Amino acid sequence: MKITYVKNRLQTALAEASPVMAQTSLDRAEALLAEMGDDCRQRLDELLAQFPAGLTGDADAMRQQVRGVYETARRMVGVGTVAGLPEVDVVARSLCDAADGLLQRDKLEWEPIRVHISTMTLLRRTDLPAEAKQQLLTSLEALRGKYAAPAPVKAG
Amino acid sequence: MSASKAPKVLLNLQKTAVLLADSDTMGQSIVVQMLVGFGARNIVRCDEADDVRRLLKNQAFDLVIMDPASFGAEGYDLLTSLRREQTSPNKHAPVLVVTGHTEQNRVGQLRDAGANFIVSRPLSAAVLLDRILWMSREKRPYVETNHYVGPDRRWRDAALPLGQTGRRQKDKEVAARIAAGGEMNQADIDLVMNAPVDTAATA
């Protein structure tokens, strides 16, 4: 085994910059993120529109469609929070788990995907009461648990 | 209390060369907004795996932020090959992996790819700032074996960044104080900000 001690170049670059309080940097970043809300809501709508209406064709085609659902959901994660819709991120991650689990087990079922997409569409509405949002997320948890791929088990 | 709110902590990325590798433009834009807020002026955005590979070979960066999953299977190879490329100016660059989701069959691959830190989306500005601060204070050596090249993963007294669930008793004590609404004392701050490297563990 070779061990190398190197100078931390990030530390060097930070030390060369004029001093700014971290809290000031953080406030500026959050202000800039707040400006992205509309763009992120629009992006969420575009991604929601990319989900298929169902799985069609032979097994290979369906596998590709589930793969596409996974990729679309993965791209959604993080956008919801900046859009002011953090619950959409939760559902998108849950859909990633479910779609990944379906692919790992080669179970090409549409129902768990449909439920996730419907939930996301509902959560996209900004007028939904907080209790209703929470209920939707709670009911989805059982579905995620049923379809998500199990974590890999370490040998030994 | 997050590290960013600790008194007298400074962060300005004005002089930091950042490579942001993410094939999703909105994911990129969100991180760019944060980095610009942190003062970054030199951000190279890249959404093609081949371009990422070329840049990593030819241009030195002080910080690499990468979403390997966004590039598909090739994305994981980008990081692994970066660490194994003997002549790369970024072989020892600090790498922060940002991921929306990792497929179960790729968890091990991501873990072994040689990132300095992995964070999940949704990513808040506070979390990104804390992780950058944490990475800037890292003193871990890089190890090279047949199976792994990257920052040493055998380290003891270095506490995890706040918000991460640690398994050590010391992690739990700090987390419990914070959860109870208690302020961090100097020892806690030192634990987070000046994590010592246990050189004995690297021998």
**Of B39, B100, B142, which has the smallest distance from its Cβ to A17's Cβ?**
B39
> What is the three-class DSSP state of A2?
strand
Q: How far is A10 from chain B (nearest CA, A)?
A: 5
B124 CA to chain A: closest CA distance, Å?
8
Confidence of residue B162 (pLDDT cuts 50, 70, 90): low
- Cross-chain residue pair A22–B10, CB shorter than 8 Å: yes
Pairing type for strands B42-46 and B117-120 reads unpaired
Q: What local confidence, expressed as pLDDT, does residue B171 receive?
A: 56
| Residue with the two structure tokens 């179970």 | A107
- Give pLDDT, residue A46: 97
Q: What is the DSSP letter of B161?
A: P
Q: How far is CA A66 from CA A52, A71, B138, in A?
A: 9, 9, 40
Give the closest of A1, A35, A36 to B145, CB-based.
A1
Of A13, A23, A33, the CB nearest to B33: A33
Determine the Cα angle at B13 with ends B70 and A22, to 5°. Answer: 105
The answer to whether B121 contacts A18, with C-beta atoms less than 8 Å apart, is no
Residue-level pLDDT at B192:
42
> Which tokens is B90 given?
């970024």
Query: Is the bond leading into B122 cis (omega within 30 degrees of zero)?
Result: yes
Q: Which of B33, B95, B110, B140 to mutate to test the interface with A (most CBs of A within 10 A)?
A: B33
Within 13 Å of residue A103, how many CA atoms lie on the same side as its CB?
A: 21
- Of A2, A20, A26, which to mutate for an interface test with B (greatest number of B Cβ within 10 Å)? A26
Average pLDDT score over chain B: 82
A156 touches chain B (CB under 8 A): no
Per-residue pLDDT band for B79 (boundaries 50, 70, 90) equals very high
Output the pLDDT for position B8.
78
- At residue B143, the 3 state secondary structure works out as strand
Residue B201 has pLDDT above 90, yes or no: no
pLDDT band, very low/low/confident/very high, at B186 (cuts 50, 70, 90): very low
Q: Do residue A13 and residue B142 have CB atoms under 8 angstroms apart? A: no
| Six token digits for residue A145 | 């648990």
Chain B residues with CB under 8 Å of A85 CB are: none
Give per-residue pLDDT as tens, A121-154.
999 987 889 999 999 999 898 888 888 877 665 5
Does CATH place domain B3-153 in 3.40.50.2300?
yes
Contacts of B171 (CB under 8 A, 6+ apart): B159, B160, B165
What pLDDT, on the 0 to 100 scale, is given for residue A143? 87
Minimum-distance CB partner of B125 among A8, A30, A104: A30
Which phi and psi angles does B144 have, rounded to 5°?
-135, 115
Query: Which residue ranges form the domains of chain A, and what is each CATH number?
Result: 36-147 (1.20.120)
ipTM of the complex: 0.92
Q: Residue A84: helix, strand or coil by DSSP?
A: coil
Nearest-angstrom CA–CA distance, B42 and B13:
9
Q: Which of B16, B195, B2 is nearest to B96 (CA)?
A: B16
Note the pLDDT tens digit of each residue in A46-67. 999 999 999 999 999 999 999 9
Taking only the tens place, the pLDDT of each residue in A85-128 is 999 999 999 999 999 999 999 999 999 999 999 999 999 987 88
